[in-house]
Amino acid sequence: MFDAVVVGGGPGGYVAAIKGAQMGGRIALVEKDRVGGTCLNRGCIPTKALVRTAEVLDLARRGAEFGVQVQGTSLDMMKVTARKDMVVSQLVGGVQLLLKSWGVEVIQGAGRVAGPGRVDVVKADGSTISLDTRTVIIATGSRAVNLPVPGADLQGVLVSEAALDLDHVPPRLAVIGAGVIGIEMACIFRSFGSEVTVLEKLPGILPPVDEEISRRLTALLKRKGIVVQAGVSVEGIGANADGSKRVYGKDQAGNPLQTDCDVAIVSVGRRPDFGGIDLDALGVAYDRKGIKVDEHLMTNVPGIYAVGDVLGRTWLAHVASHEGITAMRNIMGESTSMEYDVIPACVFSSPEIGWVGINEQEARARGLQVKASRFPFSANGRALILGEADGMVKVLADQQGRLVGVHILGPHADDLVHEAAAALKMGATACEMAEMIHSHPTLAEAVGEAFLGVDGSPIHFAKQRR
């Protein structure tokens, strides 16, 4: 008898399994593919490996700015892919070792939840084994949404996961969807040498991002040569005589629009993947967004929990992991709940975006009066040294000075945002954070200057005339 059987070995599932074992439980993890899930094998990690290659390539091209003469820079996609696969394999092996070291029983196969007390596992050879368990955690993840238009199944029209395995750089690339994944793909392949056009149905790119930050990034993308067309409704994809593709659609005014490309990447969102589990038969409540759970991550069926993308809440690996820990702590006798108020998020665009808390449009929707402070990286010594002075830090605070959101566009925004996340988690005010001493010369000084600007003025920024 297991204390818990976790179905799905992604960042929600394998972390839950390890936590349960650390707490003394007998835990089984059922995974039909490789542990690590979409994030490790086909999402976050391989994408960021390509991002790093793009960064190195861009820096090499700019070598002369730093007094370094670099001759004949070129890209070897076979080696790029090999390095990406090596990083993924190394991390998968690391997760496997972690599970083994903590005594988690990993079972290869497709898990089918027969009830709160039993999970059937269909193995690759067709045989089935049954696992008796006190509780079950469903952590089967999500899958990419395909574009529901004619021609979406043409060769050369790829979802983002398949695009990670391209063995060449397409001369012309169309990215359909300007969410996080779409923008990351656009930046990667623009650095690799593709002519990139981004098509987005909404009026602007990156809907979750603060509008001011989004507008600034849009301008920077255009400066890099990426064509950004927002307010475009894609209606179909056709094949040209030379094998290229033509994306058909309409702009906001209803005028016809077409984009020719060699490869189209479709990145229009994800939806929960229940992994073949019959939720109706189990009586587990769900809707089109995902499985319904309470604050302890338990479904309406006692003994069955769910974590990660199957909930349809955030689509973030780090949130899935924390949900896995929270669910397992409840299973093992503690009483704890998830807190979703302070979740850092980032976009590995060029430059990067990192944010935590609410943005200005959310503040307006809630009727909050907020003070905004901005500090540009162009006034930060470290950013100038790096040659990455685009972007800014934007801090939002309520009328009492308490922080409600921090938004960063610029170098290493994905790392810098965690200082802000800690501040929001502790309920700090901008004044309290401004008193924190930041090392010099660092990018973090820009964050400190932005905190200082909420109740006064940044030191390293000229006085602004009213």
Give the distance from CA 361 to its chain's centroid. 21
Is 407 part of the annotated catalytic residue set?
no
Rounded to an integer, what distance in angstroms lies between the CA atom of residue 329 and that of residue 138? 15
Catalytic residue among 412, 438, 440, 460: 440
Q: Look at residues 40, 41, 35, 43 and name the one whose alpha carbon lies nearest to residue 16.
A: 35
What the block records as the tokens of 446 is 């820009």
Rounded to an integer, what distance in angstroms lies between the CA atom of residue 170 and that of residue 430? 47
Q: What residues pair up with 22 in beta bridges, in sequence order?
A: none
Active site residues: 440
